[in-house]
């Protein structure tokens, strides 16, 4: 299933045209953070999957790429009733503003600040508590021979935490590239 990529300015028009062709059911709408992908661009990609109810095997997939610094897109909730919930989730988790949409919180507490699904968002709770679950059978805290693995979302100490205060703040691409899980936790000696 390939997506038709449209410019953000044509998002509403493309969805309206798909609806006119009979794709009346909004199956899924979500955002994807493209930062740090090899050969990729540092954008937020929004995907929309529509289904034709009279021909259930037919789907239409629309995609658009948004600027990370000002991710704004026209809301589709007046075209597809189910899109409202998905837009609220993408708005909270990725910081996408759906113009004309419902900006109320859906999942996160009102006092929460940030965009937890962006790759450059540091997940402080993961760095402060042990990673739950074992990688392999028999692996646990009682297994001292194994290295402690870093969970996804926790950048290298040189990027976040132990960074030189005089150094410039890390850019989103640097944080995202460093926050890959599965590497061994290193102990720093001073």
Please check whether residue 67 lies inside any domain of the structure: yes
Domain count, the chain: 2
For 161, the domain range is: 119-190
Q: Which residues pair with 61 in a beta bridge?
A: 49
* 164 contacts: CB under 8 Å, gap ≥ 6: none
Based on the fold, state whether residues 124 and 166 are members of the same structural domain.
Answer: yes
Please check whether residue 106 lies inside any domain of the structure: no
Please check whether residue 107 lies inside any domain of the structure: no
Please check whether residue 104 lies inside any domain of the structure: no
Please check whether residue 108 lies inside any domain of the structure: no
Based on the fold, state whether residues 88 and 123 are members of the same structural domain.
Answer: no
CATH, residue 46? 3.30.460.80
Longest dimension (CA), the chain: 67
Based on the fold, state whether residues 93 and 19 are members of the same structural domain.
Answer: yes
The residue among 167, 134, 50, 32 whose CA lies nearest residue 93 is 32
| Tens-digit pLDDT profile for residues 123-170 | 666 556 655 555 544 555 554 445 556 666 677 777 776 677 788 878
Residue 77 CA to residue 163 CA, distance in Å, equals 43
Residue that terminates a domain, selected from 42, 70, 99: 99
Based on the fold, state whether residues 56 and 127 are members of the same structural domain.
Answer: no
Residue 56 CA to residue 53 CA, distance in Å, equals 5
Please check whether residue 155 lies inside any domain of the structure: yes
| pLDDT at residue 10 in the model | 98
Please check whether residue 109 lies inside any domain of the structure: no
Based on the fold, state whether residues 9 and 92 are members of the same structural domain.
Answer: yes
CA end-to-end distance (rounded Å), the chain: 52
What percent of the chain has pLDDT above 70? 75
Q: How many degrees, rounded to 5, is the angle at CA 44 between CA 63 and CA 73?
A: 65
**Mean pLDDT, rounded, for 66-79:** 95
Backbone conformation region of residue 20, classed left if phi is above 0, alpha if psi is from -120 to 50, else beta: alpha
Based on the fold, state whether residues 56 and 86 are members of the same structural domain.
Answer: yes
| Tens-digit pLDDT profile for residues 31-61 | 999 887 777 678 999 999 999 999 989 999 9
pLDDT at 78 over 70: yes
The residue among 140, 142, 124 whose CA lies nearest residue 132 is 140
For strands 72-74 and 59-67, give the pairing. Answer: unpaired
Based on the fold, state whether residues 129 and 88 are members of the same structural domain.
Answer: no
Please check whether residue 72 lies inside any domain of the structure: yes
């Amino acid at each position: 299933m390939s997506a038709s990529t449209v410019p953000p300015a044509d998002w509403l028009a493309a969805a309206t045209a798909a609806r006119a062709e009979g794709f009346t059911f909004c199956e899924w709408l979500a955002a994807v953070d493209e930062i740090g992908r090899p050969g990729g661009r540092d954008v937020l990609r929004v995907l929309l999957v529509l289904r034709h109810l009279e021909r259930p095997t037919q789907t239409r997939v629309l995609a658009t790429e948004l600027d990370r610094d000002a991710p704004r897109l026209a809301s589709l909730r007046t075209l597809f009733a189910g899109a409202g919930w998905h837009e609220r989730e993408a708005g909270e988790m990725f910081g996408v503003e759906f113009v004309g949409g419902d900006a109320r919180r859906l999942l996160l507490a009102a006092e929460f600040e940030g965009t937890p699904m962006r790759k450059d968002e540091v997940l402080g709770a993961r760095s402060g508590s042990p990673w739950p679950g074992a990688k392999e059978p028999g692996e646990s805290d009682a297994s001292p021979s194994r290295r402690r693995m870093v969970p996804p979302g926790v950048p290298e100490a040189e990027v976040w935490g132990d960074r030189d205060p005089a150094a410039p703040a890390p850019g989103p691409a640097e944080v995202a590239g460093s926050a890959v899980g599965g590497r061994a936790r290193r102990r720093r000696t001073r």
